[in-house]
Structure 1
Amino acid sequence: MSAIPAATDGKRVADTATGGFMPKPALSAVRTAPWGLMGLAVVVGAGAGAGSIVFRWCIKSFTHLFSGHADYAASPGAGNPHASWLGPYFVLLAPVIGGLLYGPLVNRFAKEARGHGVPEVMLAVAQRGGRISPKVAVVKTLASALTIGSGGSVGREGPIVQIGSALGSTLGRVTKVSESRVKLLVACGAAGGIAATFNAPLAGVFFAMELILGTFSAEAFGATVLASVTASVIGRAAFGDTAFLNLPDFHVAHLAQYGLFALLGVVAAAVGMGFARFLYLIEDACDWLWRGPEWLRPAVGGLALGLVLLALPEMYGVGYPVLEKAAEGGYAVGFLLLLLAGKMLATSLTIGIGGSGGVFAPSLFIGAMLGSAYGTGVQHLLPGSAGAVGAYALVGMGAVFAGAARAPITAVVILFELTGEYSIILPLMLAIVLATATSRLLSRDTIYTLKLRRRGIDLDGPAPGARIGAQHVGAVMEALPSPLPATTALTDAADLLGLSGHGALPVVDDAGKYLGVVTAQAVAEALAEQPDVTPSTVGQLAEPPAPVTTDQPLAQALHALLSAAGTGLPVLDTNQGKLVGWLSHQSALRSVHTAP
């Protein structure tokens, strides 16, 4: 039998990336065609949906194994039927045993599975080309389920984001798609994980775009929607199509409540950022105190967590039953504040000793306690116009998360989908926007980026060891092209832009003051319009792009350069704002030869 020649016309060829055989043109289309990306997004969504089912089953199984209850927070202070002779004191041992199981697992196989997951995914997208090890999905599933099941006071959104993202990254690298598509598939995995585990498809999309990608585009939106919808269909088939939290109906009965909600948003921002700072303060304390092997740290630290659970058993696990009861007005103000402080301590301690779990659910819990306490207080002060306590609890949930994570769109959408409450959407939006703005005034970092900055990582800066990005713009910029006077006619500007080779030129007024940039595209579009509505000079078309100054790190300027309409941007003097140079893609690349 003669040898089969290498196929180049649709015959089957060996493909080492997929571990089998695939038609070469078909594989190429998967890598480059729009429908190929959509197909991969559906596959990632299906994987994330299946992963969420396995993850939630593991949490439920381990919770029942360690506590003897489906959710111990619903029966705080009860004994474990599996060890009734211990009574409520079993909570002293559960975190220790859990730590003995997940500590060696994380330390041996995937150290990045420790902590709350989302920062690692953000880092992978920003500086590592979307590369996440496939073993993270398995280790994170087991470690987080063991942490939550044995009493760890953390959430499940961080783990499911990391699990879904690892699946997306693995599929992207197996099919050898471009780096930009690998990043997008990572976001698809995050969107699918959130959508399936919380029955929140829209929230999954905005979480992925706002926090993981940090940008919005039609392609990214389409892919994440497909992944989110696919995962949601699978999740609803397993868990049912119901709102994740069961809360009573709320409504705004008095206009004065909007002022109260606005104040709550400002307070919630301070609490959210306080939670972020306290989280890492406890982690620093745990790092300073612990001198033994890392694999043993969760077990020894579990003793301290067990004492917290013994004093306040409502902190066991995620704690949604306690959250729902608080929203219904089931606790006094003093106990609500105790639960708020207890959650901060229990979550921080769980993360600090090496536990694996998210901070989204704890943020909601803290917000609910704050909102309920606030609502109860204003009811006593303004009994005729304060409204229901539950409305403040719901708004507090969204505002604290927005203050901690600084993701206002995600906060609005996810609170709406988790509760199914549309009547509270206006005060929710008001409080979340104010919480986000206040948080930005209080700190440059969020609860996610602060973890990375503490390790010396700036998501907006160059990756450690990168050949480009650390230089200052002033060291790599090129000569400034001749600016256009603002009175230049469009026909003359078209000729000058065509000869410049830049695709954009700076515009100055009669006094030489910088006004902005005019692009060849803007001039061409203006000349194609009707003469009676067309601007006559470039000054009417000039728009100032994101400012780039000489002392700015090149890594930051690259973000502005990549989003610029032309092929470059003007560089301004730091002190006086005068035009001093021009930054183009070519000048940025030439900096490689001058890098230290």
Structure 2
Amino acid sequence: MSNDDPQADMKKELYTNGIPISPTLNAMPDTPDDSRKSFFLKKRLVQISFMCVVVAAAISLIAKFLVSLINLITNISFYGSFDLAFHSPADNHLGAWVIIIPAIGGILVGLMALYGSKAIRGHGIPEAMEQILVNQSRIKPSITFLKPISSAIAIGTGGPFGAEGPIIATGGALGSTLGQLFKITSNERKIILAAGATAGMSAIFGTPIAAVFLAVELLLFEFSPKAILPVALACITGAAGHHLLFESGPVFPMPDIAVPSNLALGVYSFIGIISGILSLGITKIVYFIEDAFEKLPIHWMWWPAIGGLVVGIIGYFAPHTLGVGYDNIIGLLSGKLPFALVLSLCFYKFLSWAVALGSGTSGGTLAPVMTIGGATGAILGTVILQLFPQSGINLPLAALIGMSSMFAGASRAYLTSITFALEATMQSHALLPLLGACTASYLISFFFMENTIMTEKIARRGIYTPDSYQPDFLRKLRVSQILKNDLLVINADNTIQQVKDFFAATPPSENYFVITDAKGAFNGILNLRDVYTSRQDSEKPVSVLARQSTFSVKTEDNLGDVVELMSEQNEDTVPVISPDGKTVVGVLTSRDIVNAYKYRLLEENAATANFSLKRQRIKMLIKGRRLIKM
């Protein structure tokens, strides 16, 4: 190539799919063996699944221990007897002395938090979410025994919580601890943590499907075989533990439900809307109370004692607000509780739970929210039946609707709320009413509440919680879909100076170019930056600057695999070869992949942008009309 004509020996061609621009590649290595990689991943899945089952078996025993410990502390605190059987604290005869018992429990929890671990405070799920999102699913091993003991003390002395929150936190801590003992990835540790947490829920309630959905919606933030299978096996193990250690029937039995009419379905959906609105208020009030405790001029260790004192005062006037309250849920679902008691559970249970939770003591959320929601549904159902007897609604089903939709609105665990109600009651005819009510409640929550009762606490710390679970966009795109249709090919014999002259005369639009030898065979990739920053003699052939690729990809490969391969090889460019593996058809860069992702985001936001633009135009039009009228 002469300096007078810098383009003389340059080879610039356009190609389309199926038209190669270089002969057979002799030195291009094959892509990694996918079958060996697939075998390794499946073997790893079996190992992680086995660990999850072991954790689930252990957490089932811990769940039985926790429930027995709660019963023991309850009987000692309110009846002075060493008994492991369940007795409701509502039947105590302590009189005004009942006020100080929850306060004593709060003092003990505060001391455990101060000298043990502050992580025992709270209701379990948000704390587990935080460790998954920011701490690579690492939870202190001490939480495995501190959380159940502190929760048993808090609940056994009258705290208005359920046992499910502590056992979920304990299961997560146990799974995380086991994951830290072995050399596994943070994602695998997340799976074991979620498996332990949801196996605990399954062991308490015997609801494995709901537990799996809970993992997907609040802990895993993904839906893939490598995550679902271990968690599902753990939840099945937890359910088996429930049947073996607790009972085999529905945890919340209720009268059989007939198929509802269309009018009744509309009424149940209306109850779901009201429950969704109330769930917004519940969330706001809980965190308002928590903020109020933060402003107290005393050490946080004493806050659970103050919360316990309020719980005791409320429990003196409304004894049924004390303790776990699973019997209250069964009573609400029977439809036979006196209306005054239902009102008491709705208001006083909420007040007691909100203050206790805001004080930072150790307890759960699921059972209290469902108790409040069940009472709300029963109240609304009673009022509707009085005003519109022809509505055809069923009072126990109205309570179940309120229970499930309240939790759906407060947590936005949509599928968990529906499946939990079905599994816990074994009432298949409730499916359609539950679907309508929970959808209505979820819509209200989604449109009017930025964070949920599960995510508000960690969101205040600047932690983003995923709210959608979509397949990897890059794995849906093939290389051929983003590969550019023009390729600049440079002869390896051209000197560095000749290449500089060529680019001076023809400014390039790309930064990477293919180099071929005298026979036209692939010789490497040239980076434009290397041409201008190299200290090599300008008269040397440009081939000295060529980057020799150690791997290649094919046009039919998906971008997800390509990104993974480029990350493993620490390369930002890769030659693309034809499906038959014989010819180079282009160069793929990390910038191309970023641009593909960027295009996808622009495409997704197009509808929102168009809507905003239309609304802005309407506002301008209205403003213009007003000016004309003036």
SS of the residue 1:93 aligns to: helix
Listed one character per residue, the Cα deviations across residues 505-563 of structure 1 (whole Å, up to 9, x for unaligned) are xxxxxxxxxxxxxx965999xxxxxxxxxxxxxxxxxxxxxxxxxxxxxxxxxxxx9xx
Which residue matches 2:382? Answer: 376
- Give the match for residue 36 of structure 1: 47
- 1:29 CA drift (Å): 7.8
Q: 1:175 to 1:285 in 2, by over 3 A?
A: same
Distance 1:566 1:190, change over 3 A: farther
| Mapping for residues 131-530 of structure 1, pairs under 5 Å | 131-289=138-296, 291-333=297-339, 335-459=341-465, 496=485, 521=556
Is the CA contact 1:164–1:192 (under 8 Å) kept in the aligned structure 2?
A: yes
**How big is the shift at 1:151?**
0.5
Aligned to 2:21: none
Find the aligned partners of 2:511 and 2:349 in 1 and give their Cα distance.
Answer: 59
Equivalent in the alignment of 1:473:
none
Amino acid at match of 2:90: P
The aligned counterpart of 1:512 is: none
Task: Name whichever of 227-236 and 409-418 sits farther off.
Answer: 227-236
Deviation at 1:58, TM superposition (A): 1.3
C-alpha spacing 1:523/1:309, structure 2 compared with 1 (3 Å): closer
Which region of structure 1 is more displaced relative to structure 2, 61-70 or 187-196? 61-70
Q: Once the 2 structures are TM-superposed, how far is the Cα of residue 494 of structure 1 from its aligned partner?
A: 6.7
* Paired residue type of 2:386: H
C-alpha separation in 2, matches of 1:522 and 1:376: 61
Cα pair 2:267 2:393 within 8 Å, conserved: no
Number of equivalent positions: 460
Alignment of 1:523-562 (within 5 A): none
SS of aligned partner of 1:76: helix
Q: Verify: 1:51 aligned to 2:62, yes or no.
A: yes
CA drift at 1:418: 1.0
CA 1:31/1:139 → structure 2, altered by over 3 Å: closer, same or farther?
farther
Of the three residues 95, 102, 108, the one matched with 2:109 is 102
After TM superposition, the structure 1 stretch with the greater mean CA deviation from structure 2, 449-458 or 142-151, is 449-458
1:451-498 CA distance string (max 9 Å, x none): 11233433359xxxxxxxxxxxxxxxxxxxxxxxxxxxx999877399
Q: Which residue of 2 aligns with 1:569?
A: 598
Q: CA deviation at 1:246?
A: 2.0
Which segment drifts farther, 245-254 or 113-122? 245-254
TM-score (norm 1): 0.71
**Is the CA contact (8 Å cut-off) linking 1:252 and 1:387 kept in structure 2?**
no
Measured after TM superposition, the shift of residue 358 of structure 1 is 1.0
Superposed CA deviations along residues 81-139 of structure 1, whole A, max 9, x for unmatched, are xxxxxx33232121122123222112211111101111011111112111111111111
Report the Cα offset of residue 340 of structure 1: 0.9
Note the C-alpha offset of 1:294: 2.9
CA distance in 1, matches of 2:487, 2:252: 60
Alpha-carbon distance in 2 for matches of 1:204, 1:391: 22
2: distance between equivalents of 1:195 and 1:304? 32
Mapped to 2, the partners of 1:76 and 1:297 lie a distance apart of 24
For 1:444, what is the secondary structure of its paired residue? coil
Instruction: Give the partner amino acid of 1:366.
Output: I
- Distance in 2 (CA, whole Å) between partners of 1:52 and 1:324 is 20
Q: Distance in 1 between matches of 2:369 and 2:295?
A: 26
For the Cα contact (< 8 Å) 1:494–1:523, is it kept in 2?
no
Deviations 1:39-98 (A, max 9, x none): 11211211221221221111111111112285554x63531xxxxxxx332321211221
* Mean Cα deviation higher: 217-226 or 320-329: 320-329
| 1:11-22 alignment, distance < 5 Å | none
Mapping of residues 103-142 of structure 1, within 5 Å: 103-142=110-149
Q: Distance in 2 between matches of 1:63 and 1:139?
A: 18
SS in 1 for 2:167: helix
* Contact in 2 for aligned 1:336/1:372 (Cα 8 Å): yes
Distance 1:29 1:171, change over 3 A: farther
**Secondary structure of 2:261's match?**
coil
Higher RCO (C-alpha 8 Å, min separation 6): 2
Summarize the Cα distance change of 1:282–1:498 in structure 2 as closer, same or farther, 3 Å threshold.
Answer: farther
CA distance in 2, matches of 1:234, 1:108: 33
- Do the aligned residues in 2 keep the contact of 1:42 with 1:226 (CA within 8 Å)? yes
Given that 2:482 and 2:596 are in contact with CA atoms closer than 8 Å, whether structure 1 keeps it comes out as no
Q: Equivalent residue of 1:384, what SS?
A: helix
Once the 2 structures are TM-superposed, how far is the Cα of residue 215 of structure 1 from its aligned partner?
Answer: 1.8
Given that 2:45 and 2:230 are in contact with CA atoms closer than 8 Å, whether structure 1 keeps it comes out as: no
The one-letter code matched in structure 2 to 1:427 is: P
Q: Cα distance, 1:336 vs. partner? A: 2.5
Give the AA of the match of 1:104. Answer: L
CA distance in 1, matches of 2:72, 2:52: 30
Which of 92, 96, 109 is equivalent to 1:78?
Answer: 92
2: CA distance, partners of 1:455 / 1:565: 29
Structure 1 residue 282: deviation in Å? Answer: 1.6
* Aligned counterparts of 2:370 and 2:482: Cα–Cα separation in 1: 55
Over 3 Å counting, the alpha-carbon distance change for 1:240 and 1:322 in structure 2 is closer
Q: Distance in 2 between matches of 1:495 and 1:161?
A: 51
Tell me the amino acid that sits aligned with residue 283 of structure 1. Answer: E
Instruction: Check whether the contact 1:253–1:385 (CA below 8 A) recurs between aligned residues.
Output: no
> Contact 1:119 / 1:452 at 8 angstroms: preserved in 2?
yes
Superposed CA deviations along residues 249-270 of structure 1, whole A, max 9, x for unmatched, are 1223422101101111111111
SS in 1 for 2:598: strand
Taking a change above 3 Å as real, the CA distance of residues 496 and 108 of structure 1, as seen in their structure-2 partners, is: farther
2:311/2:322 contact within 8 Å kept: no
Mapped contact 2:120–2:143 kept (Cα < 8 A)? yes
Distance 1:180 1:330, change over 3 A: same
* Separation of aligned partners in 1, 2:222 and 2:210: 15
Structure 2: any 5+ residue segments left out of the alignment?
Answer: 1-38, 468-478, 489-509, 513-553, 560-589, 611-630
The one-letter amino acid paired with 1:496 is N
Instruction: From the superposition, tell whether residues 188 and 491 of structure 1 become closer, same or farther in structure 2 (CA, over 3 Å).
Output: closer
Within 1, Cα distance between the matches of 2:286 and 2:216? 25
